């Protein structure tokens, strides 16, 4: 080892200095004290580590684990909602939510974050202040839906703003413009009240559930089971390692009975009007189309609905949230007449030759009841009474029959109780009877009331769905299927049946055929090449109770049309309702349009099938002849 040279000036310096005290003994004792102090200091330090590391290391081990091992939920997508042909009505789109975690929040970052994400800084700061009292692990939701610009900002500033956290999420993509809003419904975070319901007992707070319509009715089918993964995160919340993964189970797809082609036609026809359209297959009870207007935009519910949007919906006097197809309870008006006719025939009260003379009105029990035709219909039998919707005829029939058979047959066709459709909160309507009046009003039934009920007025109320089901059931000869929106229910559904006399059914159907095709009130519903049957109805809203309740809102009549086709083997029954229908004459064309869409589609499919069949035949012929042809397996017609 080379040692440094000795300082040449050393000698002289030392000589010039006063001699230093060279006795170290007097400090020896003090150095010893320093040594003792050092020993004590080290014992003090080691005792500190003993306490932490040897006495209770588990406590700190657990805290270290809690620091680094976190459980992250993995969202399960809800099942899609499809139409009867497998076309997607409701889909999910994968989206990101942007959260601001508060465990490592640096308030100096708020300004650049607000700038980068185009947020209002004052708003953001206020939000952070509001969250002060909440637990630190509760993050602030910055954005429910992240745009590509936000995404690139977060990605490129990951190291600077560790408090920004993206979580994957699935959002519902609903049809636009309120299409099928009432049928589909929407989802939302489970509420306090819902948590107490047995229906939702198994869900935790914070779970997203169906709140309305199909989304609610079939929540268990549609909802998946969220997964979870255990990850090791570092201080910045970055995932370093995935320990365990329990994959999310996606919800099951749900095939509806709705036919989007028919639905679209009905939706377009109802655009800008208030009312409802229901189309059923009377042979199965499948709902082919269901429209209620006014509607609301489901996509406003797909994200957290804004307070202003919610207020706009609930404050609307037209009640957009009401599903008129199953919840509007209105007098059926003249659409009740086919049921009256059936009751008259079935009870033997009248036959087809029984006639009534209409002179524009008649007096019953001291009250004068007008016919809608001022001049009167003259003398007519049942067939013409249905075709021309003569009120006096049915007043007389009702008077002759009495209220009890009317109520019996009204109940038989499904009025007065819910149809059992698989949607929440279906209304039941009212079938008035002496018993009903006594129970609800503690009053005696007046025979005069029967006269109003006979033409579908008075206390009698039905929903559009009930009317469609009732007429459809009669049309197929006495089998009333329970309407449903999910195809799987076809097999398990048990219809209500009644052995109607086929002759009586035919007589009623013939009357309804006349309404459309013999210069009756429903001429607008006629369809070329298809035997359409139907019945119009104009129902006064101004029943005493209803007027009081509504406090003099719009008291114009409601316009109905119910129709089915074809006459001999009905496949579709359609009801259209217009609230306060100034455009009442349009109810029949809407029914016609929906039916036209149905039969056009059927014809198209049939033509396609024939084309494919002939193609297959020619192909097999070619193969049989040994001609060169394309691989036959690729030419399988698909059904």
Q: Which residue of 36, 45, 107, 379 would you call a contact of another protein, by CB under 8 A?
A: 45
Nearer to another protein, 128 or 305 (CB): 128
**Cα-flanking dihedrals φ and ψ of residue 266, to 5°?**
-65, -40
Count interface residues toward another protein (CB under 8 A).
58
Q: Does 492 bind another protein (CB under 8 A)?
A: no
Catalytic residue among 334, 389, 452, 543: 334
Stretch 97-136 residues interacting with another protein (CB under 8 A)? 103-104, 136
Nearer to another protein, 63 or 444 (CB): 63
Q: Does 48 bind another protein (CB under 8 A)?
A: yes
Q: Does 50 bind another protein (CB under 8 A)?
A: yes
> Is the four-CA dihedral 275, 281, 285, 286 of positive or negative sign?
negative
Nearer to another protein, 50 or 446 (CB): 50
Nearer to another protein, 57 or 502 (CB): 57
Q: Which residue of 24, 133, 176, 549 would you call a contact of another protein, by CB under 8 A?
A: 24
Q: Does 502 bind another protein (CB under 8 A)?
A: no
Q: Does 444 bind another protein (CB under 8 A)?
A: no
For residues 177 and 469, give the distance between their C-alpha atoms in angstroms, rounded to a whole number. 28
Helix (H) or strand (E) holding 558: strand 558-565
Q: Does 439 bind another protein (CB under 8 A)?
A: no
Nearer to another protein, 243 or 613 (CB): 243
Q: Does 151 bind another protein (CB under 8 A)?
A: no
Can 334 be counted among the known catalytic residues? yes
DSSP 179: T
Q: Does 49 bind another protein (CB under 8 A)?
A: yes
Q: Which residue of 63, 442, 528, 624 would you call a contact of another protein, by CB under 8 A?
A: 63
Among residues 264, 398, 265, the alpha carbon closest in space to that of 340 is found at: 398
For residues 13 and 22, give the distance between their C-alpha atoms in angstroms, rounded to a whole number. 17
Query: Which residue, chain included where needed, has tokens 């095939």?
Result: 255
Q: Which residues, listed in sequence order, are joined to residue 469 by a DSSP beta bridge?
A: none
For residues 507 and 510, give the distance between their C-alpha atoms in angstroms, rounded to a whole number. 5
- Smallest gap from residue 141 Cβ to another protein (A): 20
Within 10 angstroms of residue 390's Cβ, the number of other Cβ atoms is 25
Q: Does 610 bind another protein (CB under 8 A)?
A: no
Contact 590, 561 (CB under 8 A): yes
Tokens coding 383:
């067939």
- Smallest gap from residue 49 Cβ to another protein (A): 5
| SS3 per-residue string spanning 427-472 | CCCECCCHHHHHHHHCCCCCHHHHHHHHCCCCCCEECHHHHHHHHH
- Smallest gap from residue 26 Cβ to another protein (A): 7
Contact 84, 287 (CB under 8 A): no
Nearer to another protein, 232 or 542 (CB): 232
DSSP 55: I
Helix (H) or strand (E) holding 577: strand 572-578
Tally of residues, the chain: 639
Q: Does 137 bind another protein (CB under 8 A)?
A: no
Q: Does 4 bind another protein (CB under 8 A)?
A: yes
- Smallest gap from residue 72 Cβ to another protein (A): 16
Q: What is the DSSP string of 167-191?
A: EEEEEEEPPSTTTTHHHH--EEEPP
- Smallest gap from residue 1 Cβ to another protein (A): 4
Q: Does 6 bind another protein (CB under 8 A)?
A: yes
Among residues 520, 501, 573, 504, the alpha carbon closest in space to that of 385 is found at: 520
Nearer to another protein, 38 or 411 (CB): 38
- Smallest gap from residue 161 Cβ to another protein (A): 16
**Cα-flanking dihedrals φ and ψ of residue 356, to 5°?**
-135, 145
- Smallest gap from residue 36 Cβ to another protein (A): 11
Nearer to another protein, 49 or 368 (CB): 49
Helix residue spans in 131-256 (DSSP H):
148-156, 181-184, 192-195, 213-217, 219-222
Nearer to another protein, 16 or 444 (CB): 16
The residues, any chain, with a CB within 8 Å of residue 111's CB and separated by 6 or more, are 121
Return the range that interacts with another protein (CB under 8 A); candidates 3-11, 219-227, 387-395, 486-494.
3-11
Q: Which residue of 235, 244, 602, 618 would you call a contact of another protein, by CB under 8 A?
A: 235
- Smallest gap from residue 33 Cβ to another protein (A): 8
Contact 150, 143 (CB under 8 A): yes
- Smallest gap from residue 28 Cβ to another protein (A): 7
Q: What is the dihedral of CA 353, 408, 360, 332, to 10 degrees?
A: -130
For residues 194 and 188, give the distance between their C-alpha atoms in angstroms, rounded to a whole number. 11
Active site residues: 334
| Binding region for another protein (CB under 8 A) | 1, 3-7, 9-11, 13-14, 17-18, 20-24, 26-28, 30-31, 33-35, 38-39, 41-42, 44-46, 48-50, 52-54, 56-57, 59-61, 63-65, 67-68, 103-104, 136, 232-236, 240
């Amino acid at each position: 080892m080379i040692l440094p040279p000795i300082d040449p000036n050393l000698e002289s310096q030392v000589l010039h200095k006063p001699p230093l005290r060279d006795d170290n003994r007097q400090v020896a004792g003090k150095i010893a004290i320093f040594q003792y102090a050092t020993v004590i200091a080290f014992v003090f330090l080691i005792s500190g580590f003993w306490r932490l590391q040897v006495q209770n290391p588990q406590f700190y081990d657990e805290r270290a684990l809690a620091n680094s091992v976190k459980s992250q939920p993995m969202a399960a997508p809800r099942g899609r909602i499809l139409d009867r042909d497998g076309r997607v009505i409701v889909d999910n789109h994968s989206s990101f939510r942007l959260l601001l975690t508060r465990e490592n929040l640096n308030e100096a970052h708020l300004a650049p974050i607000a700038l980068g994400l185009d947020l209002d800084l004052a708003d953001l700061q206020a939000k952070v202040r509001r969250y002060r009292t909440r637990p630190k692990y509760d993050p602030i939701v910055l954005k429910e839906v992240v745009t590509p610009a936000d995404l690139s900002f977060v990605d490129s500033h990951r190291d600077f703003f560790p408090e920004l956290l993206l979580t994957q999420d699935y959002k519902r993509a609903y049809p636009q413009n309120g299409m099928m809003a009432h049928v589909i419904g929407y989802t939302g975070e489970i509420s306090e009240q819902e948590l107490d319901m047995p229906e939702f007992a198994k869900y935790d707070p914070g779970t997203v559930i169906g709140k309305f319509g199909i989304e609610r009715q079939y929540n268990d089918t549609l909802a998946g089971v969220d997964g979870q993964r255990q990850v090791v995160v570092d201080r910045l919340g970055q995932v370093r390692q995935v320990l365990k993964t329990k994959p999310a189970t996606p919800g099951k797809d749900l095939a509806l009975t709705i036919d989007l082609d028919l639905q679209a036609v009905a939706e377009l026809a109802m655009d800008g009007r208030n009312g409802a359209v229901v189309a059923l297959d009377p042979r199965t009870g499948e709902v082919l189309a269901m429209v209620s207007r006014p509607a609301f935009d489901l996509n406003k519910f797909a994200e957290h609905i804004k307070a202003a949007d919610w207020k706009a919906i609930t404050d609307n006097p037209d009640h957009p949230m009401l599903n008129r197809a199953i919840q509007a309870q209105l007098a059926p008006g003249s659409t009740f007449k086919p049921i009256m006719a059936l009751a008259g025939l079935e009870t033997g009260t009248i036959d087809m030759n029984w006639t009534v003379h209409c002179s524009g009105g008649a007096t019953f029990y001291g009250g004068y009841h007008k016919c809608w035709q001022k001049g009167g219909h003259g003398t007519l039998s049942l067939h013409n009474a249905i075709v021309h919707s003569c009120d006096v005829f049915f007043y007389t029939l009702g008077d002759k029959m009495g209220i009890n058979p009317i109520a019996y047959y009204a109940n038989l066709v499904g009025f007065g109780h819910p149809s059992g459709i698989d949607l929440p909160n279906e209304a039941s309507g009212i079938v008035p009877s002496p018993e009903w009046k006594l129970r609800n009003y503690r009053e005696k039934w007046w025979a005069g009331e029967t006269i109003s009920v006979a033409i579908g007025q008075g206390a009698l109320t039905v929903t559009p769905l009930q009317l469609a089901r009732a007429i459809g059931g009669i049309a197929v000869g006495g089998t009333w299927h329970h309407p449903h929106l999910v195809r799987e229910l076809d097999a398990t559904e048990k219809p209500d049946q009644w052995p109607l006399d086929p002759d009586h059914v035919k007589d009623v159907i013939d009357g309804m055929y006349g309404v459309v095709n013999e210069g009756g009130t429903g001429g607008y519903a006629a369809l070329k090449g298809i035997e359409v049957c139907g019945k119009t109805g104009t129902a006064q809203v101004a029943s005493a109770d209803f007027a009081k309740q509504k406090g003099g809102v719009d008291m114009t009549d409601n316009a109905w049309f119910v129709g089915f086709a074809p006459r001999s083997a009905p496949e579709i029954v359609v009801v259209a309702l217009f609230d306060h229908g100034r455009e009442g004459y349009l109810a029949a064309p809407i029914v016609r349009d929906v039916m036209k869409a149905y039969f056009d589609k059927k014809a198209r499919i049939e033509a396609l099938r024939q084309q494919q069949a002939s193609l297959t035949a020619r192909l097999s012929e070619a193969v049989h002849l040994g001609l060169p042809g394309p691989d036959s397996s690729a030419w399988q017609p698909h059904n």
